[in-house]
Structure 1
Amino acid sequence: MTDRTVTAVEVGLRYLSLGHRMRRVVDDGMAHGGLSLARTKVLQVLQLQGPLRQASLAEALSQAPRSVTQSLEALERDGFVERTSDPEDGRSKLVRLTPQGSKALATGTAAGERVLSEIFAKMTAEQLAELGRLLDVIDRGLEV
């Protein structure tokens, strides 16, 4: 068996593929708690920032307003958020996390953390630290 140099493109494609797989595994684990990763992100923003206009929520999530509206409709049906008219601008909707949404968020977050702990438990502390440093390098590379 001969060693060959691996290209940045090959590593990048493998990283993207692995990231996609990991996201699916985490999402599946969280689904058992009643939330997807995407729905969890919506609830996390509302928990951190408090009630927001739908447009501000879409901006905070870096998503199209239409996509956020569809997510919010489902979250509202499940009782995780409530949408009311914004008292400062009746044309806008204000989105607020409900107590049931807070409980679902805690359950979903715990499920996601369990999955991540299981995945990364196979690594030593040194490997985790090195991976963290490598991820920092990749993150800086995105600042093009």
Structure 2
Amino acid sequence: MTSQRPARPLPAPEIRQGVTRLARRLSAERPADGLSPNKNSVLAHLLRNGPMSAGALAAADHQQPQSLTRVYAELEHEGLISRTRDDHDGRQRMLELTPRGREALAHDMARRDTWLDLALAELTETERQVLLLAAGLMNRLADSPVRTADRTSRTR
């Protein structure tokens, strides 16, 4: 006879709530002259991954390429990214973070990082280590290809 444990509820709602609340708080700590969330996301992807095509960057951000066209144009106009021809496919343009883009991203993140550092100081070392581990796992989850439904069916 096998003993069965009672089913434990899935942690998804609690994790979602914690992530959402923390994201909102970090957004509230954004400097008044900060980047828009889309601009911040584009620059952060380019910082982490290096030069990317517009389509690859949109896919990495789980957005449609056409929804970022204006963002790319504004970032280029502001000197935060540059567009160059792809060495392997001359028809394709690659987006690359400029030194000015790195500075803008660092400025945008600095205030939020300062708030987070102060908040983390109130936790124990063990709690900080757990959050560091969780951050890596959340990044893996964010990159997960798992989908619950076809996105196109929601836009009809």
With normalisation by structure 1, the TM-score equals: 0.67
When residues 122 and 140 of structure 1 are mapped into structure 2, their CA distance, relative to the original with a 3 A threshold, is same
Paired residues for 1:37-116 under 5 Å: 37-86=37-86, 89-116=89-116
Q: Aligned partners of 1:130, 1:88: CA distance in 2, in Å?
A: 42
User: When the two structures are aligned, how many residues end up with a matched partner?
Assistant: 137
For 2:147, the equivalent position in structure 1 comes to none
In the alignment, the residues of structure 1 paired with residue 79 and residue 72 of structure 2 have an alpha-carbon distance, to the nearest angstrom, of: 10
Give the fraction of aligned pairs with identical amino acids, expressed as a percent.
28
Query: Residue 47 of structure 1: CA displacement?
Result: 2.8
Contact 1:33 1:111 in 2 (8 A): no
Cα offsets for 1:33-68 (capped at 9, x unmatched)? 522454333213323443322122223334322233
- Report SS of the residue matched to 2:122: coil
Q: Which runs of 5+ in 1 are unaligned?
A: 1-6
Offset of residue 122 of structure 1: 2.0
The C-alpha deviation readout for 1:56-108, integer Å capped at 9, x for no partner, is: 22233343222332432332343312334546545433212222212101212
**What secondary structure, in the 3-state scheme, does the structure 2 residue paired with 1:94 have?**
strand
C-alpha distance in structure 1 between counterparts of 2:113 and 2:106, whole Å: 10
User: Which is helix-richer, 1 or 2?
Assistant: 1
Aligned to 1:21: 21
Q: What CA RMSD, in Å, does the superposition of the two structures yield over aligned residues?
A: 3.6
Higher strand share: 1
Assess, with a 3 A threshold, how the Cα gap between structure 1 residues 92 and 112 changes in structure 2: closer, same or farther: same
Structure 2: stretches of 5+ with no match in the other structure: 1-6, 145-156
Q: Quick one: distance in 2 between partners of 1:11 and 1:70?
A: 37
Scaled by the length of structure 2, the TM-score of the pair is: 0.63
